[in-house]
Amino acid sequence: MASIKMIGIGDEGKLSLLPMYEKWIDESEILIGGKRHLSFFPEYQGEKIVIEGGLSSLVDRLRTETKNVVILASGDPLFFGIGGYLSSKIRLAIYPYLSSVQLAFAKVGERWQDAYFTSVHGRSMKGLAQRIDGKEKVAILTDMENSPNKIAQYLLSFGMTEYQAFVGENLGNENERCRWFRLDEMKDAEFSPLNVVILKKIEKNPSWSIGIEDEEFIQRKPEKGLITKKEIRTLSISAMRLKEDSVVWDIGTCTGSVAIEAAKLAREGQVFAIEKNEGDLENCKQNLVKFRVDATLVHGKAPEGLDTFPDPDAVFIGGTAGGMEEILDSCCNRLNAGGRIVLNAVTIENLSEAMSAFKERGFHTKITLAQISRSKPILNLTRFDALNPIYIIEAWRQEGE
């Protein structure tokens, strides 16, 4: 069985390595890493393999390799690096270096165990807004596409002006540069491709807990009221059984109230919403910005457009516009194992149709009839105003069915 070692390396190349690590590299027969990592060892006598693209072919080779191998990786390979993936596929020993985030916090002179860590390196920035909203301290790993100036532009588009940004470039290298920015300064600045961003909150910002007041949402004018009311919204979201990384569909999103509150719970997941009315769609866009939710919003009448969404863990159906059978076909067929579909019905006819449709598709159901009244002042007294009764239908498929 070949010896496979993964060694973390810094931007200063060989200077970042312990003498023992250098000895292991010299004695190895195969050296694997990115082009930049391999360039630190021009005199290496063994075979060099450049990591490019996916790792599956590399895993296949390493599983049958009989020669001694050293894999080079930046910083700590287990911190948003290739170490986690490779160690789950093959047996190897990992020897980390300081991560770029660790070096950056050292430059700032702040503790980092209480920071929120995320990466946009090699991945989309989609959803970053709800992931970091309200966090006091955030560390972001970047790449050439999702650079500090692009991050600043993105955050400003959601009004996240409460953050000051630290950018550490080429940390540990002779070209190291560390700077603080306001976001409006950072959006126009230029940076080295090798950098890490730390966001530190310096101002208070509005915070939104579950059960946002209806009046806070931008709604259709002059005809208001086309919104899932706060109490119904809270019960419906509870029935969806959301997890932190859930993929959520909101069908007939209207103002976006359910999608927005779902995103506050499924911060590490994804939210997809569809709406047929152009006026409501525009209101939804403004609400997403106001409440700092970066959901995917589609203009269309379901089930058209649902085929572009990934399979859901939870689905909310606020309206079907007469297409319930087709919508439920798509939702029931594609719902992930253990998922929930929650449908709100106003009329007993829609309730009956939904119950029959779920039964035909082999789903179990539970119904809650919500009859909500809100207090209202009358002179120096108080009375109650009733909201329309709503049937909240929760549907699921038992495991193994």
Domains of the chain, residue spans = 4-98, 101-201, 214-396
Q: Are 169 and 194 in contact (CB under 8 A)?
A: yes
Q: How many helices (H) and strands (E) does the chain have?
A: 13, 19
- 368, with CB counted inside 10 A (0-12, 13-18, 19+), is middle
Pick the CATH number of 4-98 from 3.40.640.10, 3.20.20.70, 3.40.1010.10, 2.60.410.10: 3.40.1010.10
Q: What is the pLDDT along the chain (401 residues), one digit of tens a residue?
A: 578 999 999 988 999 999 999 999 999 999 999 999 999 999 999 999 999 878 999 999 999 999 999 999 999 999 999 999 999 999 999 999 999 999 999 999 999 999 999 999 989 999 999 999 999 999 999 999 999 999 999 999 999 999 999 999 999 888 999 999 999 999 999 999 989 999 999 999 888 889 999 999 999 876 655 789 999 999 999 999 999 999 999 999 999 999 999 999 999 999 999 999 998 999 999 999 999 999 999 999 999 999 999 999 999 998 777 788 999 999 999 999 999 999 999 999 999 999 999 999 999 999 999 999 999 999 899 999 999 999 999 999 977 65
- The domain 101-201: what is its CATH number? 3.30.950.10
Domain 214-396, CATH class in plain words = alpha beta
User: Is 114 in a helix, a strand, or coil?
Assistant: coil
Amino acid letter for position 6: M
Find out whether 25 and 113 touch, Cβ atoms under 8 Å.
no
**Do 334 and 249 contact (CB within 8 A), yes or no?**
no
Pairing of strands 69-74, 137-141: unpaired
Cα gap 218→195, rounded to integer Å: 39
